[in-house]
Amino acid sequence: MITTKGAHEADEIVMATGSWGRETARLLSLRIPLMPGRGYSVTLEDSPYRLNYPAVLLEGRAAVTPMDGNKIRFGGTMEITPHKTPPRMNRVQGILDAVQRFYPEFEIPFPAKEKIWYGYRPCSADGLPYIGRVKKYGNLTIATGHSMLGLSLGAGTGKLVAELVNRQPASMDISPFAVERFN
C-alpha cells in the first residue's frame, strides 16, 4: 500500500473513507457511485433555554439536541455537493428559521462563521451502504456509503468487516451492499 507517508505491507486493507470513498476508490481504478451529503450544525453554548428531550423537527428538516447541561445543538440539511463547494450559510439560516417555527421563544443569533460546524455524509447511489470485497483485489474490503446512519450502523458494519477480513461467513446476507453492484 503506497501512502503519503511511505509504502506499507499489509495482509488485509480496509478502505472506509466515508464521503471521500469515490475518490479513494478511483485511485484503485474502482468505481463507487457516491456523493457527499453536507449537513450543518450550530451549538448554543450556555443556552438560556432549556430542553428536556431531543427532537427531530420533521417538516423543518432539523434536529435539536440538548447536551452537557445547558448546551443545545441544532443540526440538519442534506446538501448533495462536492467537498470543494464552499459552505452555504443560507442553509444554516434555514435550520435556525425552522427551529424558531417550532420553538417561537428561541431567539438564536446567527453564529460567527468559525462556530458553524459542517460535515459530509457518504451518500450512495441507492441509499444502501457499500460493504464487501471487490473482484480486482484479493485483500481489500470496502465499507462506506452509510449516509445519514453511519453512527447507528457503525457497530454492525464493524462486525461485518471483521468477518470479511477474517474470511469468516458474514452473519447476515450482505449481497444488497455489494460494492460493485452498479458495474
Ligand X SMILES: Cc1cc2nc3c(=O)[nH]c(=O)nc-3n(C[C@H](O)[C@H](O)[C@H](O)COP(=O)(O)OP(=O)(O)OC[C@H]3O[C@@H](n4cnc5c(N)ncnc54)[C@H](O)[C@@H]3O)c2cc1C
State yes or no: residue 41 binds ligand X (CB under 6 A): yes
d(CA 23, CA 19): 9
Out of 13, 20, 81, 91, which residue is the one contacting ligand X (CB under 6 A)? 20
Query: Which range binds ligand X by CB under 6 A, 47-55, 106-114, 146-154, 160-168?
Result: 146-154
Q: Which three cell numbers stand for residue 101?
A: 417555527
What would you report as the CA-atom Rg of the chain, rounded to the nearest whole angstrom?
20
Q: Which is nearer to ligand X, 113 or 169 (CB)?
A: 113
Closest to 74 in 3D by CA, of 84, 86, 65: 65
Out of 30, 32, 121, 140, which residue is the one contacting ligand X (CB under 6 A)? 121
Out of 12, 13, 14, 24, which residue is the one contacting ligand X (CB under 6 A)? 24
Contacts of 157 (CB under 8 A, 6+ apart): 129, 131, 143, 146
Q: Which is nearer to ligand X, 48 or 162 (CB)?
A: 162
State yes or no: residue 18 binds ligand X (CB under 6 A): yes
Out of 60, 66, 75, 132, which residue is the one contacting ligand X (CB under 6 A)? 75
Out of 30, 106, 142, 144, which residue is the one contacting ligand X (CB under 6 A)? 144
d(CA 20, CA 119): 12
CB distance 132 to 183 below 8 Å: no
Q: Which is nearer to ligand X, 48 or 98 (CB)?
A: 98
d(CA 27, CA 143): 16
* Binding site residues, ligand X, CB under 6 A: 16-20, 24, 39, 41, 75, 119, 121-122, 144, 146-152
